[in-house]
Amino acid sequence: MMFGYATNETDSYLPAPIHYAHLLSRELKELRKRDSRIRPDGKTQVTVEYENDKPKRIDTVVISTQHIREITQEELKDLLIKEVINKVIPQKMMDANTKFYINPSGSFIVGGSFGDSGTTGRKIIVDTYGGMGRVGGGCFSSKDPSKVDRSAAYYCRYVAKNLVANGYADKCEIQVAYAIGRAKPLSIYVDTFGTSKLSDDEILAVVERNFDFSVANIIAELDLKKPIYRASCNFGHFGREGFSWEEIKELH
């Protein structure tokens, strides 16, 4: 089973927590280009408080980054709040009670595979929706597009995003189930979480008119045989320009 998810709460059509975490990661990379005290290994996490199903405020920001030995933790915290957090997190989303944890486990000098490695594969929650939407369990990276773990998950995101972007729902999750050796899915399930004015049958009719979940079509429509995957090795697979499954088309 594969899932795709989209919401209109951010301009990337991703849930606010993973949206802001991605922005922080990208700005952390830019800081490394400007400041040699910051080293390549890093991770981010954002906790968002919701009210009436809408992002209200950011409760907690966590950034862990590799650094040179000579910088103090106090200097690092001041640097990241000024040059990373304040640059990408809207001030209206933070308040006096917002908490910042910078390298909460202490110094982070040894990074990369020398400091932490394993054989569990890519973290699917990080690569997708930050835990807000469900996932099928199979990772994306290292799999070619003939594997629906990757290609169908991309297509589900494509369908969900287009439904939201075209105003059919405020948020949407698509689930498909395949069987090995069968080109078309065994089932397609669409959930708009009560945010659509259309009935479930009407939404499904829109999906069936505009999208084809057969594996051959997914590969062809999204042009997945091109060497496009290097860019997906960081900052997630969704919510970014340059990927075919993030494109928006007019639905009928």
- Please state the domain extents for the chain: 2-9+122-246, 16-114
Identical fold, 2-9+122-246 and 16-114: yes
pTM (whole model) above 0.95: no
Work out the average pLDDT over 104-127.
Answer: 81
Buried b (16+ CB within 10 A) or exposed e, 139-175: bbeebebeebbbbbbbbbbbbbbbbbbeebbbbbbbb
Work out the average pLDDT over 162-186.
Answer: 94
d(CA 148, CA 155): 9
pLDDT at 120: 57
Confidence of residue 98 (pLDDT cuts 50, 70, 90): very high
Determine which of 26-30, 67-71, 192-196, 230-234 has the lowest per-residue pLDDT on average: 230-234
Work out the average pLDDT over 55-75.
Answer: 97
Work out the average pLDDT over 5-30.
Answer: 97
Q: What are phi and psi of 47, to 5 degrees?
A: -105, 125
| 84 pLDDT higher than 90 | yes
Work out the average pLDDT over 173-180.
Answer: 94
Q: Give the domain 2-9+122-246 fold.
A: GMP Synthetase; Chain A, domain 3 (3.30.300)
Work out the average pLDDT over 1-5.
Answer: 95
**DSSP designation for 66:** E
- CATH of range 16-114; options 3.30.300.10, 3.40.630.30, 2.60.40.10, 3.30.470.20: 3.30.300.10
For 206, residues 6+ apart whose C-beta sits below 8 A from its C-beta are: 163, 168, 198, 251
Model confidence pLDDT, tens digit, residues 118-143: 655 668 888 999 999 898 877 888 88
